[in-house]
Amino acid sequence: MRKFLPADQLARDERFNTITMQDRFNDPRSALGTGDAATTTAGARQKFRLTPERRDASDGARGLMHGIMVGEIQALEGAGRTCWDFDTAGVAKTSSTGAHSAGAAQNPSGDMDVPFALKLDMARQCWDEARHVEISIKLSDWMGTEIGQFAENTVLFAAACSSDPVLRLAGVNCALEGLAIDVFTTMKEFGDLAGDPFLEFCEDWMLADEVTHVKMGSDWLRKVTENDPERRKKALDFQAVVDKLFSYGGTRSDSDESPIGLARRFRALAGFTDDEVEAINDVSVQALEERRARGAAARASADPASATST
């Protein structure tokens, strides 16, 4: 089986259509009018938090649920790949036939080998993600969504393609599973407010697993880089990049303008410090401001008269 599979080679059947972050950035409508400050007057800012009070609440929840489902598929693929792509520390790099494995050929020094216990944690995560995929499919069905009904952005798996396992832990377990804590908390609250008998319950169970995944990631990151501050810094920088990427447009923050809230309590349970959560909020709020500025500039260039309405 091939090692280090690129995101564009992920196996998907004909129901799915995958898009990249680049496709999303290239949609000119996202700058011109996403329905935020673009459609309000005199600086009034709309609440965009996904709650049942939103007029498009049902479709918004359906879209987010589908995003969760494909995210779970990619998280399963990413954790599985981390088990497979790297050799196990302390295990001889020759097969029973005496041939060197592909991983050994790519990494003869063994500095990218991972401890067996880390692989066990990733294997456990695979089981969790597989269960989450099943739960998400059933929830999507309950909400009236077909598998593949929304385009799939493969950026989560892309974050799991690093050749350094520590960067994968930083990007996927710390940044993206951290985002999952925010998303699940928002959906859990949505289900609770709407009185949905299944949504709140299912999200709560999945949320508990995500807290564990983040904790596993941050614990292993610290352990593996204990004597390598440069590698740790690189990993934390990568985590910040992924956090910023997923804060595009201010998707999640404490502000009601963000569809997804920042789940401070559950993030604390996962081991995030107050300063780390504050840093994520700052990045998201900055992204929100950037979106407003981009929108105003785009509208001014499309119709100079409209520039005064923001």
Partner 1 sequence: MPITVSPETYTYVSFDAEVIRRIADDLVRALGMQDRTITIDVDETTPLVRTRLTIDGDAIHINADSGAFEDTRLPRQQSEAATATALGRVLLRASDRLTGGFGEAPADDQLTLAQVAAWETYCIGRLERLGIAVNRQRWLYNFRNRHGFTDGGDTAFDQLWTNGGLTWGELCAISDRALALKAAH
Query: Nearest approach, Cβ of 59 to partner 1 (angstroms)?
Result: 7
Task: Between 63 and 80, name the residue whose CB sits nearer to partner 1.
Answer: 63
The H-or-E segment that residue 106 falls in is: helix 102-106
User: Is there binding between residue 23 and partner 1 (CB under 8 A)?
Assistant: yes
Q: How many residues bind partner 1 (CB under 8 A)?
A: 40
Query: Nearest approach, Cβ of 203 to partner 1 (angstroms)?
Result: 15
Distance CA 187, CA 200 (A): 7
Query: Nearest approach, Cβ of 32 to partner 1 (angstroms)?
Result: 4
Query: Nearest approach, Cβ of 8 to partner 1 (angstroms)?
Result: 17
Query: Helix, strand, or coil here: 100?
Result: strand
Distance CA 127, CA 190 (A): 26
Query: Nearest approach, Cβ of 89 to partner 1 (angstroms)?
Result: 43
Q: Which stretch binds partner 1 (CB under 8 A): 23-31, 88-96, 118-126, 280-288?
A: 23-31
Contacts to partner 1 from residues 48-107, by CB under 8 A: 52-53, 55-59, 61-63
Binding mask 153-192 for partner 1 (x = CB under 8 A): ----------------------------------------
Q: Which stretch binds partner 1 (CB under 8 A): 34-42, 124-132, 161-169, 245-253?
A: 34-42
Contacts to partner 1 from residues 112-151, by CB under 8 A: 141-146, 148-151
Query: Helix, strand, or coil here: 154?
Result: coil
User: Is there binding between residue 111 and partner 1 (CB under 8 A)?
Assistant: no
- What are 105's two structure tokens? 């050929």
> Considering only residues 6, 17, 120, 201, which one is a binding residue for partner 1 as defined by CB under 8 A?
17
Distance CA 289, CA 310 (A): 13
Q: How many CB atoms lie within 10 A of CB 60?
A: 17
User: Is there binding between residue 274 and partner 1 (CB under 8 A)?
Assistant: no
Binding mask 185-214 for partner 1 (x = CB under 8 A): ---------xxxx-----------------
- The beta strands (E) that lie in 125-227 are given as 152-153
Distance CA 185, CA 179 (A): 10
Query: Nearest approach, Cβ of 285 to partner 1 (angstroms)?
Result: 22
> Considering only residues 5, 19, 240, 300, which one is a binding residue for partner 1 as defined by CB under 8 A?
19
Q: Is residue 194 packed enough to be buried (19+ CB in 10 Å), middle (13-18) or exposed (0-12)?
A: middle
- Which residues, at least 6 apart from 183, have a Cβ–Cβ distance to it below 8 Å? 64, 67, 68, 252, 260
Please state at what angle helix 177-194 crosses helix 199-224, rounded to 10 degrees: 160
User: Is there binding between residue 302 and partner 1 (CB under 8 A)?
Assistant: yes
Rg of the chain (C-alpha set): 21
Distance CA 103, CA 120 (A): 18
Sign of the C-alpha dihedral, residues 57, 63, 67, 68? Answer: positive
User: Is there binding between residue 300 and partner 1 (CB under 8 A)?
Assistant: no
User: Is there binding between residue 20 and partner 1 (CB under 8 A)?
Assistant: no
- What are 262's two structure tokens? 């920042």
Residues that bind partner 1 (CB under 8 A): 17, 19, 23-24, 27-30, 32-35, 38-39, 52-53, 55-59, 61-63, 141-146, 148-151, 194-197, 299, 302
